Amino acid sequence: MDTPPHVSRPVPVPAPTGVVVLDGRSLPVADIVRLADGAVRPVPDADAMKHAEHSWDTARRLAASGRVYGRSTGVGANRSEDIPTEAAADHGLRLLRSHAGAIGDPLPAREVRAMLAVRANQLLAGGAGLRPTVITALCEALVAGAYPVVHEYGSVGTGDIAALAQLGLALAGEHRWQGSGPAPAPQALDNNDALALISSNALTLGQAALALDELRRLVNATELVAALSLLAVDGSYEAYAEPVHAARPHPGTTAVAGRMRELLGAPGRPTPPLGRIQDPYGFRCLPQIHGPAHDAADALERTLAVEINAAAENPLISPDDLAAYHHGGFYLAGLSLALDHFRLSLAQVARLSTSRLAALNEPAYTRLRPFLAGSEPASSGVMILEYAAGAALGDLRACSAPASLGHAVLSRGVEEQASFASLAARQTLRVSEPYRLVVGCELVAAVRALRQRDLRPDPELPVGRAFALAEAVLDVEHADRPLTDDVTSAAALLDTFGTMTFGELARVTRGTGTA
């Protein structure tokens, strides 16, 4: 049988292996990621579906008997223009068609699937007044591996209306689906459904959830890499001592210091080492720089947890009051600021990695040849890694510019402000690759330094198990040669460093035969 014209040829998606119940109240960021990856299938909560149906009935009654924005009126600057009763049936599709003008490249499947998951859960919060069969269709698409073509640009942080309008047209059978499975049956969307569907920031929230998940792992991994670098330069544990952080008890900073002690097997009150008095900032200030990054990640996750489970549609349909409340709850200033804060904190963490890389290149710290060079005269060793890491850090720094400083006046002046949370989410996704490469450069240098010094961290400690994994994938050759493949391998290993518990890390290491 031929593929319908609105459906693209299949692209494989993993079969779900578990279930996530969507109730509009309690979906965590981690489950958005699992739904986006196809690892689990969504099941709408029965009581939440009843609530959504009650909201839909209420919305239709209100629109039939009074003026409700977007249902019996136009939108934006057309908000005062009433929709004649005889034109109401077509109004919804016309609204979707006119707003489905997102531009730029099509988004990856993962980001679109995250959008579908967020929107399905939000609709179950019961404030949209949208027909419940749309929720079922979104869940069917997630299970089947189908997702609509959605383009990158169209939101300024006051609703992902262009992307969601493309979803709406796909649900109505007028826009292309792609993926590995069949598209949901077309929905009979009308004037009571169009604005209710697109009045959301589901794409921005989905992208932010994916970015947070990856970057939190990478920050965790960076601490293991930093621990390897500390050993390579005979660094001091004093900066992570319990009294230091009890005297200045910021939550994130204290937690990072404790984690560094655990990674290194360091005591709470270490004995000062012989030799230099104190280490460079790359080692000494790690808790003070990583701590705020963890705090920023926690703050971002709290903000996302509210938004993913929110009924933020305008107007909000309240069946208990038999009312439609017009409001600005869709405005994502809080998320935009949280994303900006998180990216700025990551820029500091990545910059600290380049500081440690510089220390690894310095004979005064390693007691090795400059740039960890091989035995040939005037060898450059890993010199180029400082340049490569600096270039990647430049991209990361550019992506860290605050999106919340943006401004826009739209729709004939009636929408005179914008949060640009959508830009903040895209920028946060984009910092992952340069961040990963910066830390990959440090890992290559740290492993080389430990090898040249013939130092083997204790295999019973997390830092020792991490070293064994890195040694298994990084080339032992120290003669001058291209290091591109080394950094690529090291950067890929960071996900393993960032997601495993220490017990799991030991198990995987034993499986490689390197422990």
For 40-97, the pLDDT digits (tens) are 999 999 999 999 999 999 998 888 877 777 676 766 666 656 666 655 568 888 889 9
Least confident window among 205-214, 269-278, 318-327, 413-422? 413-422
Q: 102 vs 99, 163, 191, 258, 364, CA distance in Å?
A: 8, 6, 21, 47, 55
> Is the pLDDT score of 277 beyond 60?
yes
Residue 413 lies in a domain: no
Helix (H) or strand (E) holding 139: helix 133-144
Please tell me the least confidently modeled range out of 224-228, 360-364, 506-510: 506-510
Q: What pLDDT digit, counting tens, does each position of 186-197 carry?
A: 999 988 898 899
pLDDT of residue 158: 77
Domain count, the chain: 2
Q: Do 228 and 270 fall into the same domain?
A: yes
Residues 145, 109: one domain?
yes
Do 28 and 95 reside in the same domain of the chain?
Answer: yes
Using CB atoms within 10 A of its CB, is residue 19 exposed (0-12), middle (13-18) or buried (19+)? exposed
> Average pLDDT in the 318-340 region?
90
Residue 3 placed within a domain: no
* pLDDT (average), residues 483-491: 98
Tell me what pLDDT residue 324 has.
87
Q: Give kind and range of the element (H or E) at residue 387.
A: helix 383-399
What's the whole-number mean pLDDT along residues 472-481?
96
Query: Is the residue at 462 inside a domain?
Result: yes
The predicted pLDDT at position 122 comes to 97
Q: What is the Cα–Cα distance from 515 to 508, expressed in whole angstroms?
A: 9
Q: If 0-12 CB within 10 Å is exposed, 13-18 middle and 19+ buried, where does residue 251 land? A: exposed
Which of the listed residues 135, 170, 200 is the one where a domain comes to its end? 200
Q: Are strands 103-106 and 151-153 parallel, antiparallel or unpaired?
A: antiparallel
Do 112 and 231 sit in the same domain of this protein?
no
> Is residue 241, in this structure, part of any structural domain at all?
yes
Is 292 strand, coil or helix?
helix
In terms of domains, do 38 and 178 share one? Answer: yes
Give domain status of residue 205, yes or no. Answer: no
Q: What is the pLDDT of residue 65?
A: 79
Residue 213's CB is within 10 A of a number of other CB atoms, namely: 20
Q: 363 exposed, middle or buried (CB, 10 Å; 0-12, 13-18, 19+)?
A: exposed
Helices (H), 16-126: 29-36, 46-65, 88-99, 109-123
Confidence of residue 336 (pLDDT cuts 50, 70, 90): very high
Same domain, 123 and 77: yes
- The pLDDT tens digits for 18-28 are 999 999 999 99
Is the model more confident about 6 or about 449? 449
151 and 249, same domain (yes or no): no
Q: What percent of the chain has pLDDT over 70?
A: 89
Q: Which residues contact 108 (CB under 8 A, 6 or more apart)?
A: none
**Per-residue pLDDT, 156:** 84
CA–CA gap between residue 131 and residue 196 (Å, rounded) = 9
Q: What is the pLDDT of residue 274?
A: 72
Residue 492, pLDDT > 60, answer yes
Query: What is the rounded average pLDDT of the residues 484-509?
Result: 79
Residues 170 and 253 in one domain: no
More confident residue, 500 or 461: 461
Can you tell me the mean pLDDT for 11-16? 56
Q: Residue 481 — very low, low, confident or very high, per pLDDT cuts 50/70/90? A: very high
Residues 133-147: what's their mean pLDDT?
97
CA geometry: angle 350, 354, 359, nearest 5 deg: 145
**Domain limit, last residue, from 151, 173, 200:** 200
HSE-CB at 132 with a 13 A cutoff on CA atoms is 19
Distances (CA, A) of 292 to 255, 346, 427, 487: 10, 9, 19, 27
Query: What percent of the chain clears pLDDT 90, i.e. is strictly above it?
Result: 74
Average pLDDT over residues 216-222: 97
Least confident of 120-124, 272-276, 287-291, 347-351: 272-276
On whether residue 73 sits in a domain, the answer given is: yes
Q: Is the peptide bond before 462 cis (omega within 30 degrees of 0)?
A: no
DSSP string, 238-271: GGG-HHHHHSS--HHHHHHHHHHHHHHT--SSPP
- pLDDT at 406 exceeding the cut of 60: yes
β 19-22/41-44 pair status: parallel
Task: Output the pLDDT for position 4.
Answer: 38
Count of CB atoms situated within 10 Å of the CB of 383:
15
- Are 364 and 499 members of one domain? yes
Token pair 């269709």 in the structure block, residue = 137
**Both 471 and 497 in a single domain?**
yes
Q: In this predicted structure, what is the pLDDT of residue 3?
A: 40
d(CA 463, CA 129): 53
Q: Do residues 498 and 466 lie in contact, with contact meaning Cβ atoms separated by under 8 Å?
A: no
The answer to whether residue 375 scores a pLDDT higher than 60 is yes
- Confidence label for 394 from pLDDT (cuts 50, 70 and 90): very high
Under the banding of pLDDT at 50, 70 and 90, the label for residue 168 is: very high
C-alpha 17: how far from chain center: 22
- pLDDT at residue number 78: 64
Largest CA distance in the chain: 87
CA distance 293 to 373: 34
Residues 179 and 103 in one domain: yes
Residue closest to 226 by CA, chosen among 512, 505, 466: 466
Confidence of residue 17 (pLDDT cuts 50, 70, 90): confident
- CATH classification of the domain holding 35: 1.10.275.10
Mean pLDDT of the 300-319 span: 94
Residue 469 lies in a domain: yes
Query: What type of residue is 271?
Result: T
Residue count of the chain: 515
Domain termination site, one of 200, 222, 253: 200
Question: Domain containing 269 — which CATH number?
Answer: 1.20.200.10
Domain that holds residue 243: 211-295+343-399+433-512
Q: Rounded to an integer, what is the distance from CA 89 to the centroid of its chain? A: 39
* 172 and 83 both lie in a single domain: yes
- Calculate mean pLDDT across residues 255-274: 92
More reliable by pLDDT, 121 or 514: 121
- Whether 66 is covered by a domain: the verdict is yes
